[in-house]
Amino acid sequence: MDDHLVVWRDSPAAVIGVVVDPADDRPRWVHLTLALRDDPKLTSVFVEATALFEDDAQVASLLASVRATTVNRYVPFGIGSRA
């Protein structure tokens, strides 16, 4: 598992985890790369109840966090943006 954590933390592209809460059967996301960069010794990750895919604002939050941590030289200009 340690090898995976290093790969996820150091990845030039964001690694996102998606889980489904069995209590409400709704998928939620967590930014694994960012979480591991904040705390490289993580053994578990808290998933926010509001990290849903249900409206544009929630998806925009996910995309913003991915753009903020993705190394630009690996992503062609304009992907996922209106620029």
Which DSSP category does 82 fall into?
A: -
Whole-model pTM: value is 0.73
Model pLDDT, residue 19: 93
Q: What is the pLDDT of residues 17-67, one digit of tens each?
A: 999 999 999 999 999 998 998 998 888 899 999 899 888 888 888 888 888
Query: Domain locations in the chain?
Result: 2-74
What string of DSSP letters covers 9-73? HH-SS--EEEEEETTTTEEEEEEHHHHHHH-TT-S-----TT-BSSSHHHHHHHHHHHHHHS-GG
Q: Sorting pLDDT into bands at 50, 70 and 90, what band is 76?
A: low
In 3D space, the residue among 67, 52, 82 whose CA is nearest the CA of residue 13 turns out to be: 67
Name the strand (E) or helix (H) holding 5: helix 2-10
